[in-house]
């Protein structure tokens, strides 16, 4: 009996051991030694489905991806195989030895734990140690490239930068987002809209790849010398082969998070040549045509006509000023209306810009409008060229005749004689009789004026007392005085900005001071506290509409940027009008 009892116990122990051996739960790492600039993949594998999975804390590492879950069911020779994997991607925080502690899972009511794994992190390495893992494969099969059309442009010569994402045929990308957008501080820039991401085939370092164009940007350098283009940085999820297949024999892909960059590029901007530069050169670079026209050549005085100066062609159309219209002083000329019909594509800016002047003649005569000259730098010949319009003549048929002077206008006025018509009173005798009136006035004593002047000092006493009390109360209001002073300064600087229209730096400095002092008056904050976020919060708390706040911030940004970019008089006038309108709206809405 005792022998049978021992046999039964051994059979039970063997059975329990066999059942326990059927469950596997283990941790596997891509490498146990890696550089600080590398990433580590760790897989927690089990051969039976479990619940309540608890990963370790990953002390010494940052989790940059995961958990990614994969399942594999297969049948071979009538035997079913099951595998479930939780995958993480880790980036080491510093060098040293780190222990990845146990992971825990519950399978069939039993708790299972993995063994701890020790990882050694070394200094940064140029190439990965040991066999490549999924992250290494992803790095070798996906590339972000910035293609620059020209690396040595002239100042204000346009060029393009196109960002392309190349992916090898064995690799895929499930999603991507821009992590850091380049800021073109020393360039005028405009992004070209891309409608849909079309997958195309191309070569990358002589090998076949698929690629998509992510961004197209046109740039015009505003400074000379070596200028850096900041890189575009993307966060992408790369799908790489795992080396395993599903039950249908298809390759199982592993998702790997990656941060990729196009790298910075240096643009060597050449200055425009000094030799042959015209004195009236305004910075136009490209290939242009000049056209000067008038809406009519004959009209009557006080009627109006339009004179249009138009430059068309290809080049930096938005970055230079048009030549001014010169007219005789007898013609009343109003500020021009500026129009731009410019489209921007990978070939740069193309189209036309114009200034249209309204002219009203006051007198009869013929008025010549001198020829207008426009100079630009031609990129094809790398030399300066000049275009000159024809002289125009405005014939005013009917109207008054102006007095003849020694000015240039004298040539435009008809030399006509006027007949003097005598009247019957041309020669009249001096009158010898007159009607005299008495100059003796009433007595001043006890008159209305006398009593008014007598009582006026007594009436002025209470008025003076009220004025004095009001002044004392106002002088005691230190905060109110500071606000009123800031209001006066805002009005002063806004008027100063108006006086400086046409002088870019002086205008925008005065406009910015006016806006700052206005906010000091309304929001009771010091200039040292100014920042855009605080302004937005304070105005929003005072019930100012979001659109008005955005306009105010936009004007402040214009004041900052205008000092480094070409600005026309029309743009300055628009900024002044917007400032006055925005201040008025804030006054009405602020609580």
Domain match, 155 and 259 both: yes
Domain with residue 368: its CATH number is 2.60.40
Among 88, 109, 128, which residue terminates a domain? 128
Domain match, 311 and 399 both: yes
In a domain, residue 277? The reply is no
DSSP letter, residue 527 = G
Domain match, 227 and 345 both: no
pLDDT score for 588: 72
Pairing between β-strand 207-221 and β-strand 200-204 as defined by DSSP bridges: antiparallel
Domain match, 404 and 346 both: yes
Among 76, 105, 128, which residue terminates a domain? 128
In a domain, residue 459? The reply is no
Domain with residue 575: its CATH number is 1.20.120
Phi, psi of 500 (to 5 degrees): -95, 15
State the residue range of the domain holding 119. Answer: 22-128
Domain match, 265 and 325 both: no
Domain match, 45 and 100 both: yes
Domain match, 194 and 218 both: yes
In a domain, residue 472? The reply is no
Domain match, 72 and 119 both: yes
Q: Each residue of 135-161: pLDDT tens digit?
A: 777 778 899 999 999 999 999 999 999
pLDDT score for 12: 56
In a domain, residue 310? The reply is yes
In a domain, residue 253? The reply is yes
Domain with residue 116: its CATH number is 2.60.40.10
Residue 271 DSSP SS3: coil
For residues 567 and 320, give the distance between their C-alpha atoms in angstroms, rounded to a whole number: 8
Domain match, 124 and 175 both: no
Number of domains composing the chain:
4
CA 542-543-547 angle, 5° bins: 120
pLDDT score for 213: 92
Domain match, 325 and 291 both: yes
Among 95, 128, 161, which residue terminates a domain? 128
Q: How many CB atoms lie within 10 A of CB 229?
A: 22
Q: What is the 3-state secondary structure (H, E, C) of 81-102?
A: EEEEEEEEEEEECCCEEEEECC
Domain match, 251 and 163 both: yes
pLDDT score for 6: 53
DSSP string covering 471-516? HHHHHH-HHHHHHHHHHHHHHHHHHHHHHTTT-HHHHHHHHHHHHH
Residue 376 DSSP SS3: strand
In a domain, residue 432? The reply is no
In a domain, residue 223? The reply is yes
Q: Each residue of 159-197: pLDDT tens digit?
A: 999 999 999 988 888 788 888 788 888 899 999 988 877
**Please, what is the angle between helix 478-499 and helix 504-523, to 10°?**
160
Q: Are 121 and 95 in contact (CB under 8 A)?
A: yes
pLDDT score for 491: 65
Instruction: Give me the residues of the chain with pLDDT under 70, please.
Output: 1-21, 75-78, 126-134, 243-249, 403-446, 475-493, 524-530, 563-566
Its pTM stands at 0.51
pLDDT score for 409: 46
Domain match, 151 and 122 both: no
In a domain, residue 429? The reply is no
For residues 546 and 536, give the distance between their C-alpha atoms in angstroms, rounded to a whole number: 9
């Amino acid at each position: 009996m005792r022998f049978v009892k021992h046999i039964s116990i051994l059979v039970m122990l063997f059975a329990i051991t066999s059942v326990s051996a059927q469950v596997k739960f283990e941790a596997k790492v891509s490498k146990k030694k890696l550089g600080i600039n590398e990433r580590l993949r760790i897989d927690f594998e089990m051969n039976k489905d479990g619940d309540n999975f608890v990963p370790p804390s990953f002390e010494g590492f940052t989790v940059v991806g995961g958990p990614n879950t994969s399942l594999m069911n297969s049948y071979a020779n009538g035997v079913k195989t099951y595998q479930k994997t939780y995958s993480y991607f880790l980036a080491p925080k510093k060098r040293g030895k780190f222990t990845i502690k146990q992971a825990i899972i519950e399978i069939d009511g039993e708790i299972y734990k993995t063994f701890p794994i020790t990882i050694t992190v070394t200094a940064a390495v140029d190439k990965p140690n040991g066999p490549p893992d999924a992250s290494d494969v992803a790095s070798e099969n996906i590339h972000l490239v910035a293609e620059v059309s020209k690396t040595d442009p002239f100042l204000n010569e346009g060029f393009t930068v196109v960002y392309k994402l190349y992916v090898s045929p064995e690799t895929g990308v499930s999603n991507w987002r821009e992590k850091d957008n380049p800021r073109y501080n020393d360039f005028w820039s405009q992004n070209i809209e891309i409608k849909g991401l079309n997958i195309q085939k191309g070569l990358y370092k002589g090998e076949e790849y698929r690629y998509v164009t992510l961004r197209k940007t046109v740039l015009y350098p505003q400074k000379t010398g070596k200028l850096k283009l900041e890189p575009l940085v993307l966060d992408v999820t790369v799908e790489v082969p795992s080396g395993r297949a599903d039950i249908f024999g298809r390759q199982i892909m592993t998702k790997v998070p990656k941060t990729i960059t196009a790298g910075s590029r240096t643009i060597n901007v050449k200055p425009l040549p000094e030799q042959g530069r015209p004195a009236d050169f305004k910075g136009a670079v490209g290939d242009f045509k000049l056209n000067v026209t008038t809406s009519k050549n004959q009209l009557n005085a006080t009627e109006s006509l339009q004179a249009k100066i138009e430059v068309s062609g290809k080049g930096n159309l938005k970055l230079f000023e048009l030549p001014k219209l010169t007219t005789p002083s007898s013609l009343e000329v109003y500020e021009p209306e500026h129009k731009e019909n410019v489209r921007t594509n990978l070939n740069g800016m193309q189209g036309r810009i114009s200034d249209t002047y309204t002219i009203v003649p006051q007198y009869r005569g013929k008025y010549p409008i001198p020829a207008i000259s426009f100079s630009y730098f031609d990129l094809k010949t790398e030399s300066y060229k000049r275009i000159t319009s024809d002289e125009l003549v405005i014939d005013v048929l009917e109207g008054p005749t102006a007095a003849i002077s020694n000015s240039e206008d004298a040539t435009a006025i008809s030399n006509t004689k006027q007949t003097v018509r005598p009247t019957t009173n041309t020669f009249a005798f001096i009158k010898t009789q007159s009607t005299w009136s008495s100059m003796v006035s009433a007595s001043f004593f006890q008159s209305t004026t006398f009593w008014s002047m007598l009582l006026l000092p007594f009436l002025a006493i209470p008025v003076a007392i009220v004025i004095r009390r009001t002044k004392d109360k106002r002088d005691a209001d230190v905060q109110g005085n500071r606000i009123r002073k800031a209001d006066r300064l805002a009005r002063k600087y806004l008027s100063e900005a108006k006086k400086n229209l046409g002088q870019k730096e002086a205008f925008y400095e005065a406009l910015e001071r006016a806006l700052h002092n206005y906010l000091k008056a309304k929001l009771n904050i010091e200039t040292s506290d100014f920042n855009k976020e605080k302004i937005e919060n304070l105005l929003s708390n005072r019930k100012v509409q979001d659109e008005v706040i955005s306009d105010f911030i936009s004007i402040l940004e214009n004041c900052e940027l205008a000092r480094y970019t070409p600005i026309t008089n029309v743009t300055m006038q628009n900024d002044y009008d917007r400032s006055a309108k925005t201040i008025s709206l804030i006054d009405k809405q602020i609580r």
